[in-house]
Structure 1
Amino acid sequence: MSIGFFVGSQLTKDGSTLLGGFGHEPSSHWIDIVPGQHHPPGSTMKVGVTEEANIPGRIIDIPQVQYTNKYISSTYSEYAGFPPPLTNGGLNEYGVAGRDIWSPSRQELVEMTPEPQQGPNYSDLARIVMERAKTAREAVEIIGDLIATYGYSTYGGNSHLFADKDEGWVVIEYAGGQGLWAAERLGPDEVRVSYPGYIHNFPVDFQSNENYMGSDNIVEFAREQGWWDPETDNPEYLNLQDVYGEPFPGEGVEKQEDHYTAARVPPEREEELMSLVPISLEDMLALVRDPRWSNDRAGYGQVAHLRQNVPNELQTLWIAITGAVTTPYVPIPIVTNSLAVPPEFVQHRYMTKYSDSEFLSKDYAPQEATRYAFREFKRLMYFTSEHPLCFLPYVTGNIECFEQIMLLERRSLEERFLSLWQNNQFEEARQLISTKVHQRLLESLRLGMRLTDVVEAETRRLFGIRMPKDTKEPGETTPPWSQVMISQTDDDFVHAYDPRLDIYPRPFGIYNQYAWCGPHAYRS
């Protein structure tokens, strides 16, 4: 149940395109900067899902291209039957950004899906686009070609948002094994919130309209199934959300009853987004951080800042390694060297799939011995969420003060980079950016650990540490803290939302009064 926000360049303060969001996954997350790579002829890659998926499938090999792009991604390990490592997109060397977002297909399509299914899954599609696309439009074409050629493995319907500095595209991939997909262009004067992903009016003659793409059967299949009739329905358009999708989960739900579900009505979130126009990068950082949706289920936070007048090397992905509600973003330009990511921000065993089934390989021991940033910020989230009225303003203020320091330094840093780059000092320019990314990631971790120490100490002093309730069955003897720790109900998850804190959306930086600020505040 991911979320994605797109804002076109005519609606932003600096003329950039913004694409933000995150995925909802229970597993570990880490940062990968995947270098561009050349592959020998005949190379293949594995795609698909296993028989353990909720709709069983099989893994197949498909041809790899000769060159795959460099890209930055948040990587994770768990979705049932989907082989790790997984990704929802990111930012590549051509300035193409991607987001994967759930989009449930109507039940008849889910039931129609063949078993075993085959073809690339949502993560495969996101990864392949990052590896191959040079524009957002090309990203859609790549997905269409892959589905037509190899099929599509689904968990029940999905979507993607893609963007470059000029435009965006939303793509819906439907369940059913029929190769059904559709895409709509998002222009520079548009916003889109996918929560879930959707397309409403889709022209029947889409093949002659450059703002739409889709599978050849997207219209005819709806007619054959009796889900759309040009004699009684609008003969010029299909409302794809009505025809192929499910109702938005938040429709008719009051936020007092369930704030998390009530927020999942994309048109309402789009009205909210439009109220912020012109939208700044800071606005988007705060929006992705919003505790109405950023919580323990938010695996990470990302905002792609796609600017008009910078080289692709400086297009930047702002990344929070886990839920941005209590995690700082750090800007990572695409030119950054892959080794700039400290070992604290790469894969560790905490919450990683298969991590408890065997002993650790000694090759990974030094990496595993470092503090895991994902785990450290999870600790901060859990303490903060227990008493958000007391601690969320303090935590947010310090995090956003740190981010403001990085925002203020960007111009001079990029000017130094461009001076070196234009002087053909390419390695020096890369190292300048990479060193800064490495430094800021470690500083963000130190900040998180300091905040956790403070919030933990105050929690113990003011409230004590709440321990779990006893849920054992009659006859069992294990104490509650030794029982299964997984969530038992849909509303049993950790979050820091409290309607008494603010009128949402919250402006970036309004909690800075609670922060210790200054250029040396986040260094040891």
Structure 2
Amino acid sequence: MTFRLILPAVAAAVTAASGPALASYGFYVGKDLSETGGVLIGGTGEEVSSHWLEIVPAQTHGNDATVSVGVTDEASMPGELIDIPQAAETFRYLTMNYSDYQGFPAPLTNGGINQHQVAVRDIWATNRSDLTDMTPNPQRGPQYSDLARLVLERATTAREGVELIGELIAEHGYSTYGGNTHLIADPNEAWVVWEFSGGQGLWAAERLEPDEVRVLYPGYIEDFPLDFEESEDFMGAPNLISFAEEQGWFDPDTTDTFNVFDVYGPQDGRKARTGGYKYMSQADIEDELKEMAPVSEREMMDMVRDPRVADDEAGYGQVASLEKGTDPDMIQIWVAPTGSVTAPFIPWYLGVQDVPPEYGMHRYLTKGAASSFLNPDYQLQESTDFAGRTFKQVLYYTCSDPDTYLDPVVSYLEGFEEDSFEDQEWVEISAQTLIDNDQRAAAQTMLTHYSTGRAMEALDLGETIKDALGVHIELSGAFRDPETAQINDPGGETPNCLASANPDKPADQQ
């Protein structure tokens, strides 16, 4: 496959700018522009952390049950944990957990998908420094991961998820590293929710249109009606506009539209869609996706795999098509166990009952692993191969010479995925037939056997690719020893497979 490279000249400058780390992408294609007629979403998380797949069962909780939310005094913007009431019932959901980000307590999540087909993606979004400066110390309230998890646990629609975030912030506050967004979708609609730092309870939400494409890196909202409380397409904190007026950031006498990005976004001259981040702008990718319409799951995978998006920072990749009438056990999400540029998407169903230990928690990149010994409770799981580590090795081999290795590696991954696509008809017809005949447990067993089987076949493929690349590099004399004593990146560009791009050069010099 061919990757088109769009490299904004300002990418390096923005990346080097002060503020919170740049992390996580989100892609939305409305149901009018998707091949299946369902809402199509994709994304990747970017954290220096171990990542593992987890399917959390539906649970019931006592009247006095609570859940801990917030951040500790070790966070980049210090806070303290608080307990808030837990819901009486929480829903089944699938997620990729991870072990550390900005000092936030583990396990963390960027979202996933639940039994009501509510999908959540967490995406970074900086706000103006004035808000960051006025954030209380310590701050209290749920943070980005808490909000994503609570929506998965409690929301039956995307709109409910947005309303839940607003209620949680109003009642308990909000803890942040400097602002954040969530993409929340279901088969009918999708929303972008932007939560702001500052301790003022500020948030805004925009409903995305069915004929719209939205790329979030960072997340953004622009034009917002002054009478948003009268609209079905917008939601926000009651003081969203009045607070900006009080601060002198917005004058309603000069315009009848409130631009959320211009008012509450970073005040450094960058624009919402074209500021330049890494090797792409949101506008460029949005235009590409529109040109593809009707967009397929295959094409969304290609976008999430695009080396402008997936590099060493990508902890995983996800793609899901949200379609009306899907049985809860048949809800599917494609997940790559680490950066999908060199890792295959594996089809997981929500009816799967067990995750192979190779895809569960391991010590590789887990916070504290370098300063503590293994908990004996994990000795058997740790004895297994770890998919995240295997495909990281494939990434490093491939990115050492992407001109030579990237296309062959991607072709193997795509071949694996095409086999999975071809399986979908018989798998889904068989499982749905069992469900329709009151044999749900048998359907769950079948889905578990299929998805875990494909996961293990994916790991076998990764080992084969890794070994083949290692042998080729060794025999060709391309292996080299490190030239420095520092194994950890001091803050430059992470390994990437952009064969024709130099991150240190402006775009017009590529």
Q: Please name the residue that 2:260 is paired with.
A: 240
- The CA deviation string for residues 268-301 of structure 1, in whole angstroms up to 9 with x for no partner, is 3211211111100100011001001100000100
**Aligned runs of 1:434-473 on 2, under 5 Å?**
434-470=448-484
> Which runs of no fewer than 5 residues in structure 1 stay unpaired?
254-259, 471-479, 501-524
- The CA deviation string for residues 56-80 of structure 1, in whole angstroms up to 9 with x for no partner, is 1000000101111110001100112
The offset of 1:262, in angstroms, is 4.1
The one of 211, 221, 225 equivalent to 1:199 is 221
Q: Distance in 2 between matches of 1:381 and 1:284?
A: 20
**Aligned runs of 1:404-415 on 2, under 5 Å?**
404-415=418-429
Q: Distance in 1 between matches of 2:181 and 2:243?
A: 19
- The CA deviation string for residues 198-228 of structure 1, in whole angstroms up to 9 with x for no partner, is 0000011000000000000001011111111
Would the alpha carbon gap of residues 117 and 412 (structure 1) be closer, same or farther in structure 2, given more than 3 Å must change?
same
Q: Distance in 2 between matches of 1:312 and 1:16?
A: 16
Q: Please name the residue that 1:290 is paired with.
A: 306
Instruction: Say which is worse superposed, 240-249 or 291-300, in terms of deviation.
Output: 240-249
Q: Secondary structure at the match of 1:261?
A: coil
Check the 8 A contact 1:343/1:370 in 2, yes or no.
yes
Q: Distance in 2 between matches of 1:249 and 1:270?
A: 13
Is residue 2:65 matched to residue 1:43?
yes
The one of 243, 253, 258 equivalent to 1:231 is 253
Q: Secondary structure at the match of 1:418?
A: helix
Check the 8 A contact 1:15/1:308 in 2, yes or no.
no
Q: Please name the residue that 2:235 is paired with.
A: 213
Q: Distance in 2 between matches of 1:280 and 1:2?
A: 22
- The CA deviation string for residues 28-65 of structure 1, in whole angstroms up to 9 with x for no partner, is 10100111111111000100001111111000000101
Would the alpha carbon gap of residues 219 and 288 (structure 1) be closer, same or farther in structure 2, given more than 3 Å must change?
same
Is residue 2:314 matched to residue 1:312?
no
Is residue 2:398 matched to residue 1:376?
no
The offset of 1:496, in angstroms, is 0.6
Q: Distance in 1 between matches of 2:329 and 2:211?
A: 25
TM-score, normalised by the number of residues in structure 1: 0.89
Q: Please name the residue that 1:356 is paired with.
A: 370
The one of 66, 81, 92 equivalent to 2:88 is 66
The one of 102, 111, 127 equivalent to 2:124 is 102
Match of 1:485, as an amino acid? I
The offset of 1:355, in angstroms, is 1.9
Match of 2:142, as an amino acid? P
Instruction: Say which is worse superposed, 303-312 or 156-165, in terms of deviation.
Output: 303-312
Is residue 2:406 matched to residue 1:392?
yes
TM-score, normalised by the number of residues in structure 2: 0.91
Match of 1:319, as an amino acid? V
Q: Please name the residue that 1:508 is paired with.
A: none
Is residue 2:170 matched to residue 1:156?
no
Q: Distance in 1 between matches of 2:306 and 2:285?
A: 12
Instruction: Say which is worse superposed, 452-461 or 384-393, in terms of deviation.
Output: 452-461
Is residue 2:278 matched to residue 1:261?
yes
The one of 271, 276, 279 equivalent to 2:292 is 276
- Identity between Structure 1 and Structure 2 (%): 46
Structure with bigger RCO (C-alpha 8 Å, 6+ apart): 2
The offset of 1:267, in angstroms, is 2.3
Q: Secondary structure at the match of 1:434?
A: helix
The offset of 1:419, in angstroms, is 1.0
The one of 317, 330, 346 equivalent to 2:360 is 346
Q: Distance in 2 between matches of 1:297 and 1:439?
A: 27
Check the 8 A contact 1:295/1:494 in 2, yes or no.
yes
Is residue 2:510 matched to residue 1:488?
no
Match of 2:458, as an amino acid? S
Check the 8 A contact 1:96/1:163 in 2, yes or no.
yes
**Count of matched residue pairs:** 476
- The CA deviation string for residues 242-279 of structure 1, in whole angstroms up to 9 with x for no partner, is 100123598565xxxxxx6241x322321121111110
The offset of 1:187, in angstroms, is 2.4
> Which runs of no fewer than 5 residues in structure 2 stay unpaired?
1-22, 502-510
Q: Secondary structure at the match of 1:52?
A: coil
Q: Secondary structure at the match of 1:127?
A: helix
After TM superposition, where is structure 1 displaced by more than 3 Å over at least 4 residues in a row? Answer: 248-253
The offset of 1:81, in angstroms, is 2.0
Would the alpha carbon gap of residues 215 and 463 (structure 1) be closer, same or farther in structure 2, given more than 3 Å must change?
farther
**Aligned runs of 1:124-135 on 2, under 5 Å?**
124-135=146-157
Instruction: Say which is worse superposed, 306-315 or 4-13, in terms of deviation.
Output: 306-315
Q: Secondary structure at the match of 1:238?
A: strand
Q: Distance in 2 between matches of 1:498 and 1:364?
A: 39
Q: Please name the residue that 1:27 is paired with.
A: 49
